[in-house]
Chains A and B, each alone.
Chain A
């Protein structure tokens, strides 16, 4: 099946620094990738939809200048948390949409746990 990887799997950073999270589709090309945020014991909240070669579409309430998304190729999207603060600590999950061959499914990465001190 389709595999999505994320790097790093966990990161600890100091308040005020920036952190970049990578999301890769390993065995398929994804024109659309998604970034989610999950708080403990809660559901996934969609942050933004990322289309290759164009600007990301952010959900209401998500600061686009704080959560920078780049989708430079069909297999890579990155999320950069700029000037991170403790309230940004969360589990960040990306997903990639597969539409080829009549299939239309999202496959998820393993997630990145961000802890901001």
Chain B
């Protein structure tokens, strides 16, 4: 069965610095990988996805993520953090041929002004 691990409960970054939110996955076959962001009392907003092709995926709001098959990772990155990036970030995976997306536990990103 597929699973997703987000090893950090919280990540603190100073505004203007680069940020990384870590994600590793376990799935049979080639994975579909996603990042979503959630603001307080709101649903999830889609940031980016990897299905196939270039390992570096660019998404919304200046975020990008790199698919690393050998390390089974899909870390989320941004070159320069904004205070408005503070939110809860979820990594998710879907196995090929499966309908279901499985979410990680989430990482709270706190950007310090």
Q: Which residues of A contact B (CB under 8 A)?
A: 1, 4, 6, 32, 34, 42-44, 46, 49, 91, 93, 95, 97, 104-111, 113
Contact = CB atoms under 8 A, between A and B. Distances in A.
Contacts of A110: 42-43
Contacts of B46: 1, 105-108
Interface size class of B (residues with CB under 8 A): 20 to 34
23 contacts: A4-B43, A34-B99, A34-B100, A42-B106, A43-B90, A43-B105, A44-B44, A44-B90, A46-B100, A46-B102, A49-B99, A49-B100, A93-B44, A95-B44, A104-B51, A105-B46, A105-B49, A106-B34, A106-B46, A106-B101, A108-B44, A108-B45, A113-B41
Top 4 A-B pairs ranked by shortest CB distance?
A108-B44, A110-B43, A108-B43, A111-B43
Most chain B CB within 10 A, of A42, A43, A104, is at A43
Interface of B: 32, 34, 36, 41-46, 49, 51, 90, 99-106
B105 A6 contact: no
Chain A interface, DSSP helix/strand/loop, else mixed: strand
A110 B45 CA distance: 9
Contacts of A42: 105-106
A105 B33 CA distance: 10
B99 A97 contact: yes
Nearest to B48: A105
Contacts of A44: 44, 90, 103
Nearest to B106: A43
